[in-house]
A and B are shown apart, each in its own frame.
Chain A
Amino acid sequence: MSDKTLDQADLGKIGMMRQVQPDYYVMRLKAVGGELNVLQLARIAEVAEKYGRGEVHLSTRQGVEIHYVHRDNLEAARLELADAGVEMGACGPRVRSIVACPGAETCRWGVIETKEMSRELDARYFKQETPSKFKIAVTGCSSNCTKANENDIGIRGAVEPRWVADSCTDCGLCISFCPLGSIARYDADDRQGVDHHYGIDEDTCINCTVCTSLCPTGAWSVGRQGYTVFIGGTLGRKPRFASVLKKIVESEDEVYELVDASIAWYRENGFKKERFGHTIDRIGLEKVKEEIFERAAQRA
């Protein structure tokens, strides 16, 4: 069977891509949230040795690829991998593997449980057809290790700081360590009966955890906590930094409602091969956000 008789689009749906070398393919494997257990790793090594060239490539999105697999061996390799619970990834115009950092499970700075969320997102959205490739990343805090802002949908752990007057010793440190310079000190505030108060510029605040975790007296405490949802990030030939869809989403259910609505909106409005972010630019961010929120409200 030659390359010409194999449907390349169908192979792309199951993570197999033709290489430059005739008759050889790349097998793209899925690692949800970047996780593979040792049994899966061992099987990947066996298959790479048996059907590839004894090596793997680690992708920028936490994937594992086996290169140099002959087209006649693709199905056998796929079945041997599947037997150990290794699933194929995805190529082409569809939702790709979900990437995630370790998050609150093991990271000191993690605000959210990223692994659990990445598994849920995988179950709900992986391989859904979209006008162009669609990438989702979950990141536990503002360190942004999985680069939420470069993905079509980025979900980042977020806290909303709240100033507690009784705990404040007016040391002023928060003004210095706020990465965005969002904190300011104000003189007498009769509302609270103190001679000073500290406030946050909500427009510039990125809901990171620096003030709430570093204030020596806990005067900056956590008010609301949840997720910042970003839309429309992309790299490639025309990079675009993601836009904030909603700064603090408190419930996980609402995150999924917004992701549902975003993907559904993109399917209806995106041109073929147009990335989500470029569709947003073409139509206008505020209009897009309004339509996504309307759609999410109808689905809730």
Chain B
Amino acid sequence: MTDKTLLRVENLKLYFRASKGVVQAVDNVDLTLSTNEAVVIIGESGCGKSSMAKALLRLLPRNVDTYSGRVFLNGTDVMALDDEEYRKEIRWVKMSMVPQAAMNSLNPVLKVGDQVAEPMMVHHGVTKEAALEQAKAMFQRVGVPVDFVNRYAFELSGGMRQRVAIAMALVTLPDLVILDEPTSALDVLTQANIMNLLKRIKKEISTSFILITHDIATSSELADRVAVMYAGQIVEVSDSYRFFSAPLHPYSAKLMASVPKLRAKSEPDYITGQPPSLIKPPTGCRFAARCHKRFEKCSEEPPVIAQDGRLVKCWLYT
């Protein structure tokens, strides 16, 4: 591995206990990420993409059944750290997150400036004044007027709140920011603004991004590489250029075909059927039941095949 590798995830598993059995939300996921790279994880709802973000940041609910695998950040295995070490050294120091519906995740009774300053005080032990200065600098960077530090969340528009949430994730200058659906609740113009902001930040500071989304069209604004998730597994990883022009996995192709396009004449098509239950996922390829290219082999678990630097988990490419 070259020293440019920032994050390497191996065999990451996150299973939850539910009343009907064990939900295999994240099942043996491998992923690598370089410094200053943006990887987009796309998939339908319920495919485990948000659980994967939680697994990486160790923000786990109480009903965890299995949580295993190895996550190397700058070469150190962070899964080996205990919770207190992880909290002190990794979370919000090296890795931070903009949660889903971030605009509604701000504390309504704290000033937004204080909320952005808090990670600096907790993790870097600076005084409140110094932290507020940092928060102001970060506000400027994300395009929020500096005097907004004294406002409350309800006094800001949706786009501004989203920017504040991004400022909060960036204030400690982490190596990696995980964005969970950062634009899905926003209007078209605000969405474009936020994507512009993320692009600019990516150029200005060498942060890496993991962008989790189901909005394929918007994801193409930021993606260097694309990982497609289906039923808890990553089925394809590809550079964005080749992915958006010719996806490999049948599921990726179907997913791309379902995107309504403004400038193309093609009719979008939908995927028949529904994703399998993650409690007892089918053996073999999990997409087989909905796949138009399935053949006998598909009843066996497909291997991950490397093809010109792209990875695809499908029997078609053996």
A binds B: no
Residues of A within 8 A of B (CB): none
